[in-house]
Structure 1
Amino acid sequence: MAARIMDIAKTFGIDILKKFYNLTVTLLVVALAMLIIYWGFSLFSSRAKVVKPGTYIEVSLPSDITENPYMYVQDWQIQRQTDFFSILEAIEYAATDKNVAGLILDMDSLGIPAQQIGELRVSIEKFKKSGKKVYAAGDGADASSYRAALLSDYIVMTPSQAASFSIPGYYAAYPYYRTLFDKAGIKCSVLSTGPYKTYGETYERESMSEGMRQQMSSLLESRYESLTDDIASSRGIEKEKLVQMIDSGELSFISPADAKEKGLIDETMHYERFLRTLSQKDGEKPPIRDISEYASLPKVSKSKASGKGSIALIYAEGNIYMDDVNPSILRKESVITPVVLCSQIESASDDEDIKGIVIRVNSSGGSALASDIISDSIAMAREKKPVYISMGPVAASGGYYIASQADRIFAGKETLTGSIGVVSVIPTFEGVYEKLGVNVERLQRGKYSGTMDLSKSLSPDEEALLQRSIENVYAEFKQRVSSGRNIDLETLEGYAQGRVWTGDKAVEIGLVDEVGNLGDALDAMAKKTGLGRSDVTLVESGKKDMTMARMVRDNLARLQGEPLNIQGPVEELLLECEKLLEIREEPLLLMPYELD
């Protein structure tokens, strides 16, 4: 009897578990289906919206906008990043869209670098040829946003003393950590190949080297000259007078009313009132569409080229690594790795329908080994078909290494390039161990087997060994550039040693072929191959799957991985130590600084 009761209970329990399992699976399937329907409806509804007659397109170009289009996860949804060139294409398309009345540049979200402002100028000028107006409006203006706003026909700012217009000149500050590291017991050995290859000097020195100061001053002065030239020509102000106003502080943190009085803007008006002046109906605002939303409309976004002939467009953006340091799609950032970029180049090279390759490089460098592998991949592709390079805001050090093997190189006037040199930064924590009372016992065979031991300082012989290693990498770097650019090594040495050049100067010395943007590179390739600009196809590979599991994993990772709220010198020390540990294993081809 007891056994019978147990059998019944067992059967009943199993039946309950089966029903619970089936119910759980059903609920999960329904939830997944609802999410898919929601995403699909959101995508469809955003694309189904029509552009009403008289619409103005608001153009935002924040400082973190990427050139490489990709997808990422945010707030449990799959997002597609609106890239810089999609926005430029949308601006040019809007010129032909009869429902678009004009553009409004959002001055509060114009943070792109000078080189990209040059590319934006080309698209804005094409738009203006349609006879439509371009306005710029915002609550504040700094040098970057104002320079972009100068592309408009009319600049409007909020008439409030709380709003700010400020063109103070240039200012760059670089923290040097030697004293802090000494107190913490950290020592950095920085090995480099020239007085201008100054990456890492902030860890080893207490103050700026003469090479760093000389080069930064030159680049900042060049950028200042370009800015004042643009303002003087666009606003009809005598340059000498403009420079005097900036240098004296007369244009620092002034009100929009003062800016208008000085002829720097056209009008002061609250944004909502300004919009009503654009409407054809009194008292009503015109229809407004965001540029990202407009760019995603099917009629605006360009479809992939098809047919027997096309030009491959490949993006190489971000720091260069041997392996993807962030395989998750959680963070909105782009990196360059051989496994991805070389596969794209090889795919385009082997495709008989692709007649030429254009690679857009926007990188300050990174791993020397990864740069060499990518460089060789480009050299191999050249054996089959023409390869052109379009340089973005920066294509320096490792970024220039990979570009140097192309048939033809285009750079913006204010692109930062060159930085031919190598650096190694080796941190050691012997002093930290001593402060913490840690005794390290070592067993060693082989003179250099303990060279990369974090717990001890480098010996003179070990430093000499590593210096010889990076000198060999430097020689290889120069040899690559010499053969790729047809410059003899003796002449090249005068351009190397870590020197950074602007695009126009790089043309003068032969590191670059001509000043031009991505459109110029594509036009040149179209002419070379006998194709048209409409025959461009974006080469994508190594794309990450957008699965439900990945989305859940990445969002949970974000929730679990929030950084500790440590502030002040301790936070700064920890962040710099983390950076040093990431870069200590290999020679680096990195530009030593960023320039906004």
Structure 2
Amino acid sequence: MNQFFKQILSSLIGTIAALLLIVTIGASGLIVLLLLLSQDGSPTVKDKTVLVFDLATKIRDTEPTITLSQAFSQEEQSTLTLKQVLKNLDKARQDPHITAIFLDGRNSSGARGSATSSEIRQALEAFQKAGKKIIAYGVDWDERDYYLTSIADEVILNPIGMMEMNGLGAQPLFYKGAFEKYGIGVQTVRVGNYKSAVEPYTRASLSPENRQQLETLIGGIWQNFVTTVASSRKISPNQIQAIADNQGLLSAQEAKSKGFIDQIAYWDEVLAKLTSLSAKEEQTFRQIDLASYSDVAVKSVPEKSSGNKIAVVYAEGAIVNGDGTFETVGGDRFSRELRKIRNDDEVKAVVL
């Protein structure tokens, strides 16, 4: 009997000891995890750093939707909001550690509208006026990228690179013929001749009203491009228009002779130039990309705050019943948001 109780007691002591060991290890692990989480993991910017703006970055007004697989992916997302980009460029303007901006056009152009490009260009101009340099380099440029890069202090093109300068256009796709061929009927409701969103489903060509408004829109964007580039590069607007009308493409040599670029160079030559503006680090220059710079806190740049707020509501996509998704304008969801804003005494205005 005594032997039986001894076995039970020893088993009980062993179990308690094992539990205490597990609790101790778990508590220690939790403490270590909390210490790691409490550490500031934000990137830091060393002295004489170049801010790299990859022109392939997709820029949009609203935060992009992220799928579950993207959330767990180790790959960096190449999409930023316009607000992030403008804030980073203004922060870099005031940051004493940032010496220059590198506009990297080696990759394909990212999704960026003309209005977005215009706001970014103004921010780059403010950076430049602060006495800091902008270097731009690319292999093949179209009008969208060149609109930004033309502001740079040094515009550099690869020796085998090309510049597209053939103007702007619109090519709507019409489905009416295909629908009729396959017996698909379309019913639309619209008010006004200039409401052209449904025309691809009801017509086989542009209506006079739609052609007029597209020509006005594209003509205005093109005229802004011509006058802006001409001013930056000290080129006659007529010369730019003549190239668009008669030539369309410029080789690197032609682009330099006509004043569109400052230098023809390979990447290793550009790398040496950027290193001279910063410092050498691991076979490259000291740099930080635009996305990483979003997480950098700069002491010399105070955060702006106010008791009064202006709410910005983004309505993007088709208008649908119910809550909808992030890619649509859900009637119920937007009603709740606007009601919440209306009842907030600190919100003094709304931008839709």
Q: Give the TM-score normalised by structure 1.
A: 0.47
Inter-CA distance 315–170: structure 2 relative to 1 (3 Å threshold): same
Residue matched to 2:263: 267
Inter-CA distance 236–48: structure 2 relative to 1 (3 Å threshold): same
Inter-CA distance 268–111: structure 2 relative to 1 (3 Å threshold): farther
Q: Deviations over 1:107-149 (max 9, x none)?
A: 3445422212221133222212321111222222101111111
Residue matched to 1:507: none
Residue matched to 1:455: none
SS in structure 1 opposite 2:261? coil
User: Shift of the alpha carbon at 1:93?
Assistant: 0.8
Structure 2 counterparts to residues 515-530 of structure 1, below 5 A: none
Residue matched to 2:223: 225
Inter-CA distance 282–142: structure 2 relative to 1 (3 Å threshold): same
Contact 1:149 1:155 survives alignment (8 Å): yes
User: Shift of the alpha carbon at 1:304?
Assistant: 8.4
Work out which structure has the larger RCO, using CA pairs closer than 8 Å and 6 or more positions apart in sequence.
Answer: 2
Q: Which stretch of structure 1 is more off in the superposition, 336-345 or 277-286?
A: 277-286
Question: Matches of 2:230 and 2:155 in 1, distance apart?
Answer: 15
User: Shift of the alpha carbon at 1:321?
Assistant: 3.1
Question: Matches of 1:77 and 1:303 in 2, distance apart?
Answer: 31
SS in structure 2 opposite 1:344? helix
Residue matched to 1:89: 87
Contact 1:228 1:239 survives alignment (8 Å): yes
Question: Matches of 1:51 and 1:159 in 2, distance apart?
Answer: 33
Structure 2 counterparts to residues 424-439 of structure 1, below 5 A: none
Report sequence identity in percent.
22
AA matched with 1:77: F
Question: Matches of 1:345 and 1:151 in 2, distance apart?
Answer: 40
Residue matched to 2:9: none
AA matched with 1:356: K
| Aligned length in residues | 312
Inter-CA distance 165–134: structure 2 relative to 1 (3 Å threshold): same
Q: Give the TM-score normalised by structure 2.
A: 0.77
**2:53 is equivalent to residue 59 of structure 1:** yes
Question: Matches of 1:355 and 1:173 in 2, distance apart?
Answer: 42
Contact 1:104 1:135 survives alignment (8 Å): yes
**2:74 is equivalent to residue 75 of structure 1:** no
Among 340, 343, 350, the residue aligned to 2:343: 350
AA matched with 1:288: Q
Inter-CA distance 323–266: structure 2 relative to 1 (3 Å threshold): farther
User: Shift of the alpha carbon at 1:198?
Assistant: 1.8
Question: Matches of 1:350 and 1:231 in 2, distance apart?
Answer: 46
AA matched with 1:145: D
SS in structure 2 opposite 1:279? helix
AA matched with 1:264: F
Residue matched to 1:410: none
AA matched with 2:330: T
Contact 1:156 1:265 survives alignment (8 Å): yes
Q: Deviations over 1:376-423 (max 9, x none)?
A: xxxxxxxxxxxxxxxxxxxxxxxxxxxxxxxxxxxxxxxxxxxxxxxx
Inter-CA distance 188–346: structure 2 relative to 1 (3 Å threshold): closer
Residue matched to 2:115: 115
SS in structure 2 opposite 1:121? helix
Structure 2 counterparts to residues 204-215 of structure 1, below 5 A: 204-215=202-213
RMSD value over aligned CA atoms?
3.3
Inter-CA distance 299–279: structure 2 relative to 1 (3 Å threshold): same
Contact 2:89 2:124 survives alignment (8 Å): yes
**2:195 is equivalent to residue 194 of structure 1:** no
Structure 2 counterparts to residues 267-306 of structure 1, below 5 A: 267-280=263-276, 285-299=284-298, 305=305
Q: Deviations over 1:538-578 (max 9, x none)?
A: xxxxxxxxxxxxxxxxxxxxxxxxxxxxxxxxxxxxxxxxx
User: Shift of the alpha carbon at 1:55?
Assistant: 0.8
Question: Matches of 1:188 and 1:48 in 2, distance apart?
Answer: 54
Unaligned runs of 5+ in 2: 1-21
Q: Deviations over 1:80-116 (max 9, x none)?
A: 8631111111111111211111111223445422212
Question: Matches of 1:63 and 1:185 in 2, distance apart?
Answer: 42
Contact 2:156 2:265 survives alignment (8 Å): yes
Residue matched to 1:314: 312
